[in-house]
Amino acid sequence: MHDECKFASRETVRGFSEKEKQQMQSDTNSPKTNPAANPAANPAQDLELDIDANYAVEIAPDVYWVGFYDQHEQLHCNPYLIRHDGDSILIDPGSVPDFPVVARKVFSIIPAESISTFILQHQDPDLCAAVPIFEDLKPDYHHKVISVQSTSYFVHHYGVKGELIRLSLSAGEAYEYETGSGRKLQFYWTPYAHSFGAMMTFDVASGCLFTSDILGGLGAEWELYHNDQALDNMKSFMQLIMPSNQVLRYSLRLIEQVGARLICPQHGQIIQAEDLPRIVESLWDLPCGMDLIDDPILRNLRGLA
């Protein structure tokens, strides 16, 4: 088991004013309203906050980062919790070695029995493997495990016990979903980024977009919120996992179209809306995956030999 890092920092982050919180609350009752569609309508406040990553961090009202900065690894995982009226949601809950830390943070906010929904945005063990452990801490298995249908084929093999919800998503379209107590979510298919059945989740009430590996980062340097170092880490990770630049560009356009207030990847650092244009510009021409492989077969296929 890893040692948990003693990590605390002073970071400048975008805070939420009381007016914004009230607006988000009213948006929850108005399903056609996307609170993040026009971020300029809700002027940001820059706040200096002491962030202690040893604890869950509330990144938006009732939305918590419950991740783990592992000082011995380069790939740090960011599970997220949405607390909602005894009907809470865990997004990309994490791995087996990270489980003790993630669970401590989750259970500092909600009891196990209030988890109604697990969202698995692709099939990798760093985000799926802890689900059966969480499930065994619940008094029953009356919860949902949501993923794209092709991802669910793999999720089954983790031995999950909840009800598998197998989504059939259409490219470029939001799939509207509502939990039992009325939390409104939208799912977006992100084909091949970085698996066929990868998806993103938009939480309408908070304006948070959970992008799984897309815009994640790889590196020892870490803070909770995006900074210049994060951009280098992001480039390295995107080049490693994205099959091609075209796949990356598709995901970037989709993220732009969603218009989220906060972009929350499963690795790396949380991104505020105002940082997105510079990130997209920096990544737009980034060669990824197969673009970076050069051998006689590919040269032949590309018509260069």
Per CB under 5 A, residues contacting Fe ion are 124, 126, 213, 266
Q: Closer CB to Fe ion, residue 98 or residue 275?
A: 98
d(CA 27, CA 282): 33
Supply the minimum distance, in Å, between the C-beta of residue 286 and Fe ion: 18
CA distances from 304 to 214, 244, 248, 298, 299 (A): 31, 18, 24, 9, 5
Residues composing the chain: 305
Supply the minimum distance, in Å, between the C-beta of residue 122 and Fe ion: 6
Supply the minimum distance, in Å, between the C-beta of residue 164 and Fe ion: 19
Supply the minimum distance, in Å, between the C-beta of residue 111 and Fe ion: 27
127's tokens = 């985000």
Supply the minimum distance, in Å, between the C-beta of residue 267 and Fe ion: 5
Q: Contact 232/219 with Cβ under 8 angstroms?
A: yes
Supply the minimum distance, in Å, between the C-beta of residue 106 and Fe ion: 18
CA distances from 67 to 5, 80, 98, 238 (A): 12, 7, 8, 20
207's tokens = 């304006």
Q: Closer CB to Fe ion, residue 36 or residue 120?
A: 120
Q: Contact 212/242 with Cβ under 8 angstroms?
A: no
Q: Closer CB to Fe ion, residue 27 or residue 98?
A: 98
Residue nearest to Fe ion as judged by C-beta position: 124
Supply the minimum distance, in Å, between the C-beta of residue 230 and Fe ion: 16
Q: Closer CB to Fe ion, residue 126 or residue 135?
A: 126
Q: Closer CB to Fe ion, residue 204 or residue 242?
A: 242
Q: Closer CB to Fe ion, residue 16 or residue 187?
A: 187
Q: Closer CB to Fe ion, residue 94 or residue 162?
A: 94
- Class of residue 11 by CB neighbours under 10 A (exposed 0-12, middle 13-18, buried 19+): middle
Q: Which residue has the tokens 């959970």?
A: 210
d(CA 75, CA 126): 9
Q: Closer CB to Fe ion, residue 98 or residue 126?
A: 126
Q: What is the DSSP letter of 193?
A: S
Q: Closer CB to Fe ion, residue 27 or residue 126?
A: 126
Supply the minimum distance, in Å, between the C-beta of residue 265 and Fe ion: 9
Supply the minimum distance, in Å, between the C-beta of residue 253 and Fe ion: 20
State yes or no: cis peptide before 194, omega within 30 of 0: yes
CA distances from 136 to 7, 23, 126, 151, 176 (A): 30, 37, 18, 22, 29
3-state secondary structure string across 28-85: HCCCCCCCCCCHHHCCCEEEEEEEECCCCEEEECCEEECCECCCCCCCCECCEEECCC
